[in-house]
Structure 1
Amino acid sequence: MGFATLLSSIGASVATVFVLYCAALFGYRILLHPLRSYPGPFLAKLSDSYAGFYALTWRLHLVTRRDHLKYGPVMRYGPNRLVFNSAAAFRGWPMPMHSERVTKSEVYRVTQQLENVYNVFNVRDRAEHRLKRKLIGRAVTEQSMRSFEPTMTAQIEIFLRQVLQAAQARTTSERMVNMTQPFKYLGYDIVGHLAFGYPLKLQTDDSNRFVVKANAYGNFRLNMYMQWPLLRHLRIESVLDLLPNGLRVRLFNLIETMIKARLAQDKDARRDLFFYAADDFREGNDGLRLGNLWTEAIFFLPAGGDTTSTALASLFFYLSRNPVCYAKLCDEIRTTFRSGADIRGGPQLAGCSYLRACIDEALRMSPPVPGTLWRQLAYDDPHTEPWVVDGHVIPSGTEVGVNIYALHHNEEYFPDPFSFKPERWLAANDDRGGESGKAGIHNAFAAFSAGPRGCAGKAMAYLEASLVTARTLWYFDFEAAPGRADGKGARTRGRTDGHGSEGEFRLYDVFISIHNGPHLAFRTRGDYYRELTGGEL
């Protein structure tokens, strides 16, 4: 037998074994698997490639909602995955997915930069997570935000002065602003100061603006691996690191610069993340990039820089297309305060109930993290009692999640889900009918997750969104830029083919949402803008 013939024979044998293995595996997953009775897309029962494909196309959130409409409130969305679309599964009885018996899925391990080095996002051990969240949470509590607010306000004033430049421009095209970039730059400038007291200066200098694209690329990788873990195991990481244009390397170098600059200062120089966590997150002898501060910064920057910017972009989009809501919010802001300088954190701002309702409605319609966060029973759970989610006994080894975008557009909780209706939140706050009444929509609100894994930065997000919105409406009026459709297109309302709905602010799911727009045209409101220029005309 010749060498070529031998190779051909071996190849044929390997191919045969592979085909038989796949046949046996797929047969088991369809006919014998504990989840075999659950409905769902056929391909999803065989492989994670179904969700993986739509993660690669940035629209998994839309497709998941479409599939819920077809298959029902619980469906099989991978060989070992169930995704639910109910408040009972997210936050309900008898055991919500944020119970102490439940932890993040094993799939979160694919997001680690290094073995045995975790951050608050991907740590799975519950005791270690509690410690990390407590440390990170100190920097973003309501009390911490009060001391940080002057720094935040200074960055917001830079944003407002740039809006003023656009509002005073001579031509229509110069007055038109794509709000995605200003909100992103503002968000990152704020979180740079909050993390390490570092002036990123994205709003005024283009040197560090690559971090927006770099983190979007990093989030895409993260989402791709979480939905289709096989891709990480195939070691395509080395190829992806070459694209695009070394952004990951530049991001890592910048983070190292930020940390070193802060380490060179006294711990008490400012009340930032380093101040609150330095004593507990000491670096080892293996180098900065193997330490806790490093891995926390990798998560902290996009978590603080990208999420609130999505809420603000969505809010400004829907306000510019809903004149009644716009007028009502303007009236609340302009009658509550006497000047732009009066708009600051405190009882007056907190008392602007319609502003809070508008922010919540924007977060509902455009959740900054629109996808499915996978959970499973903790590895050290004694299994003395079954894990029950919304009446379903979950087999061992199953990953369970609730898709946030689908839940936020579930008509059972949010009638007319593609319409911007802040009033639904005011009605819910006034309702006293309990869980079965209108107040139940709060149980279906998942923008900040819930329980011990809930977002620690909730207070910061509301303060930033409230200050930006209120102060913008104090100094300016705005409207949708002429000729720019943004979220609108030749689509029918409520379309369910995985491409969104007409009039919807378009989100692209790369774990943290990315977007483009809205394009707005600004004009100054009387002479109030003089506060931004030191009183000069």
Structure 2
Amino acid sequence: MFNALDRAVHSHKRRVVGQLITERSMRSFEPIMIPQIDLFLRQLLACSQKDEVVNMTTRCQRLGADVVGLLAFGYELNTQTEDTNTIIPAAMKASSYRISLYMAWPAISFIDPVVRWLGRKRIPKFYQALRKMIGRRMSMPKDATHDLYAVASGDVTPSGEKGLQGTDLWSEASFFVMAGGMTVSTLMSAVFFYLSRHPDVYARLAAEIRTTFTSGRAIASGPQLSSCGYLRAVIDETMRVAPPTTATPWREDDVYSATTPPRSDGPLVVDGHVIPRGTAVGVSLYSLLHNEAYFADPFAFRPERWLDADADADAEQGKTDGGSGEEDPRATMMRRAFAPFALGDRACAGKAMAYLETSLTVAKTL
């Protein structure tokens, strides 16, 4: 899906793979994910009893790897408790650096052979781990667990789509491991970073969680978790200040063809520049999310900005008393500019997964 240039092929793969990470599907996966989060919490608790520093980035990377391994292959990587498969989170980290660098500065992609040579010892170990996961999953019944193989394989998927076969299926699963594991773990570690630097935000969020739920065991997806508006605001503000991926999502203006005839409204124009067909264009997510034209005081970590925007939206819908009935244009612009998952048919399909895993992990930790 990531490298599918043909729109029809990409659209088909997105629909098939996307079935796994819809809100409804993630609720089915939640009972499998919760034990991994609980293990993460037990390890943090054990470390807190000792006089030692905890690297939350590493902890979150291993949690992310274990969760996405189960979601993609139904395979328990156990990176939180063993060192056997730590090549997976290590490879996720290296791949994130590499892809982000090349997408931000395509001209230096010629150094890729050198980068691959430097990682020549790790790459075979990574593929060996992948083959092990694939082999184990293939030996199990299709419906043995709720994972990508169960949802996307076969002649026809549960949703009626034509399923993925052979290398297509496993290449999507492999990409899913890299993309899903690294971005969510980056988001979680960033949330913990900003909470540690902003005690007032931490106190307010902890109070919200502890007054909404009677215990950590009671924390689960549903109306109560959805009602935690400040939790969502903290997650959104973290993605704005420190987007999990800083790569520029390049898009190509379609060349003329039978399926893409000339536009009736004229050529594509960006900031007064006519963009010829076939040109790759992109916007840096980091620059977009730190543009003061859309976000006041853009480098400040202020989750309240999202609650203010929600209040404006309520006023627009006539849900608040004494309001003007119109949303602040700046709040409207801010919401339109907030695109950490990108936009359009190439936007990240894992939005529901990112919000659920991060919300559960942060809420249970507090």
Normalising by structure 2, we get a TM-score of 0.88
Give, in whole Å, the separation in 1 of the partners of 2:330 and 2:113: 52
Find out whether 1:383 has 2:262 as its counterpart: yes
> More helix per residue: 1 or 2?
2
What residue in structure 2 maps to residue 349 of structure 1?
A: 225
Find out whether 1:167 has 2:48 as its counterpart: yes
Find out whether 1:400 has 2:293 as its counterpart: no
What residue in structure 1 maps to residue 165 of structure 2?
A: 282
Change (3 A) 1:230 1:391: closer
1:459 aligns with one of 352, 355, 362: 352
Query: Which string of whole-angstrom CA distances, capped at 9 and with x for unpartnered residues, describes residues 4-28 of structure 1?
Result: xxxxxxxxxxxxxxxxxxxxxxxxx
> 2:214 corresponds to which letter in structure 1?
R
Give, in whole Å, the separation in 2 of the partners of 1:446 and 1:131: 23
Change (3 A) 1:131 1:409: same
> 1:363 corresponds to which letter in structure 2?
M
What residue in structure 2 maps to residue 360 of structure 1?
A: 236
Structure 1 unmatched ranges of 5 or more: 1-119, 284-290, 474-537
SS of the residue corresponding to residue 298 of structure 2 reads coil
> 2:362 corresponds to which letter in structure 1?
T
Normalising by structure 1, we get a TM-score of 0.61
Query: Which string of whole-angstrom CA distances, capped at 9 and with x for unpartnered residues, describes residues 477-515 of structure 1?
Result: xxxxxxxxxxxxxxxxxxxxxxxxxxxxxxxxxxxxxxx
What residue in structure 1 maps to residue 138 of structure 2?
A: 263
SS of the residue corresponding to residue 54 of structure 2 reads strand
Identical pairs, percent: 49
What residue in structure 2 maps to residue 272 of structure 1?
A: 147
Give, in whole Å, the separation in 2 of the partners of 1:454 and 1:210: 28
Query: Which string of whole-angstrom CA distances, capped at 9 and with x for unpartnered residues, describes residues 28-86 of structure 1?
Result: xxxxxxxxxxxxxxxxxxxxxxxxxxxxxxxxxxxxxxxxxxxxxxxxxxxxxxxxxxx
Determine if contact 1:138/1:144 at 8 Å carries over to the other structure.
yes
Query: Which string of whole-angstrom CA distances, capped at 9 and with x for unpartnered residues, describes residues 203-257 of structure 1?
Result: 000111122222332333334444555655x5x5554333235211211121111
Deviation at 1:136, TM superposition (A): 0.7
Give, in whole Å, the separation in 1 of the partners of 2:4 and 2:328: 32
1:446 aligns with one of 334, 339, 344: 339
1:240 aligns with one of 105, 115, 122: 115
What residue in structure 2 maps to residue 410 of structure 1?
A: 291
Q: Where in structure 2 are the equivalents of 1:94-109 lying within 5 Å?
A: none
Determine if contact 1:429/1:439 at 8 Å carries over to the other structure.
no
SS of the residue corresponding to residue 268 of structure 1 reads coil
Deviation at 1:314, TM superposition (A): 1.4
Give, in whole Å, the separation in 2 of the partners of 1:228 and 1:297: 27
SS of the residue corresponding to residue 301 of structure 2 reads coil
Give, in whole Å, the separation in 1 of the partners of 2:300 and 2:112: 41
Find out whether 1:207 has 2:88 as its counterpart: no
SS of the residue corresponding to residue 242 of structure 1 reads helix
> 1:126 corresponds to which letter in structure 2?
R
> 1:264 corresponds to which letter in structure 2?
S
What residue in structure 2 maps to residue 311 of structure 1?
A: 187
Determine if contact 2:294/2:330 at 8 Å carries over to the other structure.
no
Deviation at 1:377, TM superposition (A): 1.1
Give, in whole Å, the separation in 1 of the partners of 2:190 and 2:346: 25
Change (3 A) 1:323 1:224: closer
SS of the residue corresponding to residue 270 of structure 1 reads coil
Change (3 A) 1:454 1:435: farther
Root mean square deviation of aligned Cα: 1.8
What residue in structure 1 maps to residue 124 of structure 2?
A: 249
Deviation at 1:320, TM superposition (A): 1.3
SS of the residue corresponding to residue 328 of structure 1 reads helix
Larger Rg: 1
Deviation at 1:374, TM superposition (A): 1.1
Determine if contact 2:289/2:338 at 8 Å carries over to the other structure.
yes
Find out whether 1:437 has 2:330 as its counterpart: yes
Determine if contact 1:255/1:294 at 8 Å carries over to the other structure.
no
SS of the residue corresponding to residue 342 of structure 2 reads coil
> 1:265 corresponds to which letter in structure 2?
M
Determine if contact 1:428/1:440 at 8 Å carries over to the other structure.
no
Query: Which string of whole-angstrom CA distances, capped at 9 and with x for unpartnered residues, describes residues 161-193 of structure 1?
Result: 000101112x2xx2x211000000000100000
